[in-house]
Amino acid sequence: MGFSCVKCSSKHPPFKNNFCPFEEFIKKFSPKTFNLNFFGNTPPDIFIGAYNYPNVFAGIISPIEKERNIANNPEDWFKQNMQIENILLNRSSMIYSRFKNNVKQKNKLQEVMQEVSMSTKSVDLEFYLEKQPTLGLNLYQRNMPVANPAPLKKAADRKSCLQQ
């Protein structure tokens, strides 16, 4: 899916007359400013890319509002009969804090990401970003929408011990 919308900078197929149904969501609901360091709770959600294997982007998707309860599971979306607008709203308010990762070599960020993915409960993490996220919502045919990617410098468990 190599399309890039001229209006919202997201990756989705083109619509007629350059119409973009996601532009308003991104403008209206994406945070305008971000702190480079923030606490976020993670519904155990990670995203690992496939491009340029074994050197792929990998990272943790987290809401920047610590107390925000986000249905981040397609099964929950179905059970709650959630409308597409609400799914996109929730996904566009999250940050994909990512890093370049060689999947064949272990590193600290990879270990934190693995612990988050194995957790059965929400995990409080402190994120240290290298720079501001790029606002946008990438829609892929085989994955959940991914929004606001930002390079991750460091992630640390708030309690120094991830609960599983």
pLDDT digits (tens, 9 = 90+) for 83-139: 877 777 777 778 889 999 898 888 888 888 888 888 877 778 888 999 988 877 776
- Domain residue ranges of the chain, discontinuous segments joined by +: 28-157
Indicate the pTM of the whole model. Answer: 0.75
Phi and psi at 147, nearest 5°, equal -125, 155
pLDDT of amino acid 55? 92
Does the domain at residues 28-157 carry the CATH identifier 2.40.30?
Answer: no
pLDDT of amino acid 25? 65
pLDDT of amino acid 43? 67
